[in-house]
Structure 1
Amino acid sequence: MDREIIKTDFRDSWTTFSWSCPRHCICYTTPSTVSCQAHNFLSVPEGIPLDSERIFLQNNKIQRLLQGHFSSNTVTLWIYSNNITYIESSTFHGFRLLEELDLGDNRHLRSLAEDTFQGLVRLNALHLYRCGLTSLPNNIFQGLRNLQYLYLQDNHLKVLPDNIFVDLHNLSHLFLHGNRLWSLNQNTFRGPRALDRLLLHQNQIEWVDHSAFQDLKHLSTLYLFNNSLLQLSRQCLDMLPSLEYLRLNNNPWVCDCRALSLWLWLKQFRGSTSTVGCQSPPEMIGKDLKDLRREEFPNCSLTVSNSRGQTNNVSGTVNQSTTNLVHRLKPGRSRNCTKPRKKVRDENEVVIEKEESASDFTDGGKHDHTSSNGTRRKCVPWTTVRPPSGVQQASNEGTSTLSLPLHGCTVLVTVLFSQVHDGS
């Protein structure tokens, strides 16, 4: 229909507009909106008005996005839950008004060109969850200085390039859970100094560099549950002065001398933490590291080393009879907070983490089901008034004993425990 006068009931009021609207779509003028969701479109429908500010194309079968499909006047663009396999790199070039782009739940997308989001200077929220992504180009987020919400969960990412978030100065929420990440390097999170929530649960993380979180001074929430962590040094966590909520449950924690560093940090932390269930050695299985007493580490001492101006790495060491298990890393190798080990992953593992806040983020931070007026309910970011509920209810499944050689850093200067109270 072209240049027809149409009346439509929108929010209990009558809206009149006189411009073209694609077939099978609903259009209205305040703000100028085209809603074409759930019509089995195989491609972007023709006839979308050039002055459309909001375009809703979710729940179709669109396969390709090409330059010219949309105009640079677009402010909000939802194309989630389609069959997109290809996005021409220039599709969004010149979209200087675009604030929200939802490409989530396009499970066969798999890859993106490095300049796909180039020039989106006003972009506030970018949704790339469940897109089958196996890797990200180094400069994929370059120039997105206004981005606050980045949803990358439930992809197949194994590695994050160094400095990939370096331009995201205003990023507050970063969702990376449900991927296959196995390490966090020194420069993984360089740049996003305003980051408030970092969700890394349900990955395969087993190695964390000692300075991985050095730029995250404002981080309040860190989720690391359901990973492959054996140990974690307090140096990583000491770099998070604003931390309020920490979730470490469902990791294969080794609660021997190597756990003293984390034990000491947990004793001093006044925020909310989950259980830290021990899975080895045998006498510690089923215990919560937070509840252990100093007497349960009878032959351990906590020592500290500072070399070449690096941030101290703290690790528990035992007496002389077992010090041969501890050795220095090779010169030039970065120190780490976790013990690197051969990756072992049970493909049949089923992990269920039920939590109120995480449910809001499952579908890219928004609830589906767009109403007839083109709007959909979005989750309201939860505040720090109270901790997320349900997280501490997760059980520490799997009690098999791990017997692995120790790799890590030797540490030299003894720290007195007389100031640490078991009840604190």
Structure 2
Amino acid sequence: MHLPTIISLVLVLFVLIPPGEACPLVCICKWKGGKQTVSCRNQGLDTLPDGIDPETQVLDISGNKLGVLPKHAFARAGLLNLQKIHVSNSRLTQIDAGAFSELINLVEVDLSDNYLPAVPSLAFKETPFVRDLNLGGNPIKRLKNGAFRFLPQLVKLDLSRCQVSDVEDQAFAHLAILETLKLNSNLLPILSNYTVKSLSQLHGVELHDNPWECDCRLRDLKLWIETKNIPHPISPTCHSPQRLSGRRFSELPVSEFACPPRIVWEGGGGGGVRQVGVVEGDNATFDCAFEAVPSPVVRWYLFGRPILNNTILSFSRKFIIFEENWKSSLVLTNTNLKDGGDFFCVVENSAGFVEANFSLEILPLPPYQNILDTSHIVVVVLAVVTILIMLAIGIGVFLWYRWRLAKQRAAQSYKGNGHGPPGGELLTPVKPPRISYDYEINSGSLVHQNGFKTHHAHHGKGGGGDSNTADNPDLILETNNTSNYQEHGGLGGEEESNNSELNWEQASLSYRNLGYATEYPTDYGLPIIHENSVYSDDTHSTAFYPLPPHPNGAIPHNVSLPLSNGCSSTVMSGVWNKNKVGARITAPNARDSPDEGYQEGYVGTDV
């Protein structure tokens, strides 16, 4: 057999070797990294080559013209043991659902630099253990919610160099253990807060080369990178706003990631001037609702001048500013016709400011309507209250003065009559010094048959006692309970009698004969003026007191005076003290002490 024939037979036998027993001519089969690897790179293949060993673990068919990976593409080739598949730069435009079905050991897939417009989610429905997926370099514009829901074990995800401009909030929701994410070199302006929160286990991220809009929407991303200390080899750079363009995240504080305020009109509608009309006297309210991150500062202006809270315009007119729930309200109380004008609400933060314009129109009151101004009402009320208070005070003072005047008059009246003040009001008893007088009394009976006892005192050394006695306010007659009438005291000269007494001749005469009860009288032994006796409060020196009849009926000749009824009686002469409030007379069976017999509250002098 010729040699060329033998070589041809060998080649035919090599091609006809059953799968698993040989390596396709367009591929390289070798052990690499402890795994059986088949590489068919850049062979211009439009389908999988036949004859690949089923025990192959790594298959690299990158750089071909595959276009589409049909359903069960690898299962039909018997490559169920594949762990890694590399199909990069193969002009793939479509990967059918189930293309990787039955590859339960698949852990790594490289689909980079193809023409895939979206993440082939359904292709991985039966490959739950994929840990590394590279989709970089595909024209993927949007990452939809649940794009990786069949890849819960994914640890590394490369989406760099795509055209991603929008990442939905739940796009990474199922990647609970994702550690590395590459989103660099895309068209991403923002990443929402929800997207960032779903990447709680991330240990490395690449975000550079994106047109980042460094406003409030990136605030959470900035905080997340700083607080979690996420490694990022290259710091992202701001593309906008203009004030932050070209500046890196690492050199900006969180406060710079702000959104300019936006006015939110109630009931919708755009900007422009808002008309506010109120009736004169009513309150005018301007509501300025807004949105801004971070919280802005709100200022109100009128005629170019700022309005401060609680600015007082007049007695009842002022500005009040309320701020709550992203709304600032300005209230002008008690408006008048001069308050019309344009009011401005300016909302400002680190990202910029926005303003809202309000035009106030004051409507006059109808001609027939006469409504008091609030200030007028307050003044009237205060005036009425003041008048009532003053009137009450005046009435109180007048009544008090009348009461005091009546009390003084009553006291003077009782004082003149010799009685105590009304209502039983008593004064502290005070005993004045004893004053003695000279008496000249002849012996004789002091008892007249009509029951009156009289005494006429003669003062001095020679008589003339009537006039002196009448003018002496301190002379008080005192009697003592003895059996015989005796005369005491000096009858002449400078000698004073401190204990002159007139004694009853009948020692057995009792109080009952005088009209008293047998017990100690309640008037402390002072005599009671008989209803038939005569008492005068003038300057006469003669006083009449009721007495029991004398047994002998004798009357001293020098003291006998006529009574009003024509009878004679003995007159006891005495003059009340100058206060005219009391006297002391010692009756039979009465006490002998000069300190006794004073009625409480009365002042007198005994002689």
CA displacement, residues 39-64 of structure 1 (integer Å, 9 cap, x when unaligned): xxxxxx724465526657348xxxxx
Instruction: Tell me the equivalent position of 1:124.
Output: 83
Going from structure 1 to structure 2, the CA distance change for 1:80 and 1:251 (only over 3 Å counts) comes to same
Number of corresponding residues: 253
Matched, 1:167 2:126: yes
1:56, 1:78 within 8 Å by CA — same for their partners in 2? Answer: no
Going from structure 1 to structure 2, the CA distance change for 1:162 and 1:193 (only over 3 Å counts) comes to closer
> Which is further off, 136-145 or 123-132?
136-145
1:231, 1:253 within 8 Å by CA — same for their partners in 2? Answer: yes
Matched, 1:267 2:226: yes
- TM-score of the aligned structures, taking structure 2 as reference length: 0.38
Q: 2:104 aligns with which of 145, 164, 181?
A: 145
CA displacement, residues 175-221 of structure 1 (integer Å, 9 cap, x when unaligned): 11111111111121112222221111101001112111122122211
In the alignment, the residues of structure 1 paired with residue 255 and residue 156 of structure 2 have an alpha-carbon distance, to the nearest angstrom, of 36
Indicate the structure (1 or 2) with the bigger Cα radius of gyration.
Answer: 2
> Which is further off, 281-290 or 258-267?
258-267
CA displacement, residues 374-402 of structure 1 (integer Å, 9 cap, x when unaligned): xxxxxxxxxxxxxxxxxxxxxxxxxxxxx
Q: What's the secondary structure of 1:236's corresponding residue?
A: helix
Instruction: Tell me the equivalent position of 2:310.
Output: none
In the alignment, the residues of structure 1 paired with residue 51 and residue 196 of structure 2 have an alpha-carbon distance, to the nearest angstrom, of 39
Matches within 5 A, 1:15-54: 22=11, 46-48=15-17, 50-52=19-21
Percent of aligned pairs with the same amino acid: 27
Q: 2:60 aligns with which of 102, 108, 111?
A: 102
Q: What's the secondary structure of 1:319's corresponding residue?
A: strand
Larger helix proportion of the pair: 2
Going from structure 1 to structure 2, the CA distance change for 1:292 and 1:82 (only over 3 Å counts) comes to same
Matched, 1:201 2:170: no
Q: What's the secondary structure of 1:268's corresponding residue?
A: helix
1:218, 1:242 within 8 Å by CA — same for their partners in 2? Answer: yes
Amino acid corresponding to residue 174 of structure 1 in structure 2: L
Q: Give the CA deviation at 1:144.
A: 2.0
1:147, 1:171 within 8 Å by CA — same for their partners in 2? Answer: yes
1:55, 1:77 within 8 Å by CA — same for their partners in 2? Answer: no
In the alignment, the residues of structure 1 paired with residue 47 and residue 207 of structure 2 have an alpha-carbon distance, to the nearest angstrom, of 37
In the alignment, the residues of structure 2 paired with residue 146 and residue 21 of structure 1 have an alpha-carbon distance, to the nearest angstrom, of 36
In the alignment, the residues of structure 1 paired with residue 51 and residue 166 of structure 2 have an alpha-carbon distance, to the nearest angstrom, of 37
CA displacement, residues 229-278 of structure 1 (integer Å, 9 cap, x when unaligned): 00002322322232111000000001122222222222222220231100
Amino acid corresponding to residue 46 of structure 1 in structure 2: V
Going from structure 1 to structure 2, the CA distance change for 1:53 and 1:219 (only over 3 Å counts) comes to farther
The higher relative CO (CA closer than 8 Å, separation ≥ 6) is in 1
In the alignment, the residues of structure 1 paired with residue 181 and residue 219 of structure 2 have an alpha-carbon distance, to the nearest angstrom, of 21
- TM-score of the aligned structures, taking structure 1 as reference length: 0.53
Q: What's the secondary structure of 2:94's corresponding residue?
A: coil
2:159, 2:182 within 8 Å by CA — same for their partners in 1? Answer: yes
1:154, 1:178 within 8 Å by CA — same for their partners in 2? Answer: yes
1:79, 1:102 within 8 Å by CA — same for their partners in 2? Answer: yes
> Which is further off, 256-265 or 278-287?
256-265
Instruction: Tell me the equivalent position of 2:244.
Output: 284
Going from structure 1 to structure 2, the CA distance change for 1:84 and 1:282 (only over 3 Å counts) comes to same
Structure 1 unmatched runs, 5+: 2-19, 26-44, 60-73, 301-316, 327-411, 414-424
Going from structure 1 to structure 2, the CA distance change for 1:134 and 1:270 (only over 3 Å counts) comes to same
2:215, 2:256 within 8 Å by CA — same for their partners in 1? Answer: no
Q: Give the CA deviation at 1:323.
A: 9.2
Instruction: Tell me the equivalent position of 1:253.
Output: 212
Q: Give the CA deviation at 1:97.
A: 3.4
1:54, 1:76 within 8 Å by CA — same for their partners in 2? Answer: no
In the alignment, the residues of structure 1 paired with residue 79 and residue 265 of structure 2 have an alpha-carbon distance, to the nearest angstrom, of 55
Amino acid corresponding to residue 26 of structure 2 in structure 1: L
1:226, 1:249 within 8 Å by CA — same for their partners in 2? Answer: yes
Matches within 5 A, 1:7-406: 22=11, 46-48=15-17, 50-52=19-21, 57-58=26-27, 76-87=37-48, 97-106=55-64, 108-118=65-75, 120-273=79-232, 274-297=234-257, 300=258, 318-321=260-263
2:238, 2:248 within 8 Å by CA — same for their partners in 1? Answer: yes
CA displacement, residues 38-91 of structure 1 (integer Å, 9 cap, x when unaligned): xxxxxxx724465526657348xxxxxxxxxxxxxx964322220112348xx5
Q: Give the CA deviation at 1:92.
A: 8.1
1:134, 1:155 within 8 Å by CA — same for their partners in 2? Answer: yes
In the alignment, the residues of structure 2 paired with residue 49 and residue 294 of structure 1 have an alpha-carbon distance, to the nearest angstrom, of 65
Structure 2 unmatched runs, 5+: 2-8, 29-34, 269-324, 327-607
Q: What's the secondary structure of 1:249's corresponding residue?
A: coil
Query: What's the C-alpha RMSD, in Å, of the aligned pairs?
Result: 3.3
